[in-house]
Amino acid sequence: MLQPEEIAKIHSYLISGANHLCNSDRSNRTICLGGRNFQLDIWHKMGIISEPTNEALAIAMREASVEPEKHICA
């Protein structure tokens, strides 16, 4: 189990837009679902996306002229 300091550190870089890699995927290529859900929830609360989903993130990215297909993993 992670200590509160470790969780705070992870949350800090997730809020900045960095991704957290999945701890159960040894390839180091899969984004942590819990980390992504945390990001979506924060961005939704900040009003950046309309709802905490990858679909809403993709819409906001397109509105900002960013191609979500290059950045969002399903």
- What is the tens place of the pLDDT at every residue in 33-49? 888 888 899 989 999 99
CA angle, 65 as apex, 47 and 50 as ends, to 5°?
Answer: 20
Whether the predicted pLDDT of 74 surpasses 70: no
Question: In this predicted structure, what is the pLDDT of residue 10?
Answer: 84
Q: For tokens 């929830």, name the residue.
A: 41
- Structure tokens, 42: 């924060």
Within 10 angstroms of residue 57's Cβ, the number of other Cβ atoms is 22
Residue 8 predicted with pLDDT over 70: yes
Name which of 33, 32, 40 is nearest 56 in CA terms.
40
Task: Report whether pLDDT(73) > 70.
Answer: no
Q: Is the pLDDT of residue 21 over 80?
A: no
Contact 30/20 with Cβ under 8 angstroms? no
Question: What is the reported pTM?
Answer: 0.70
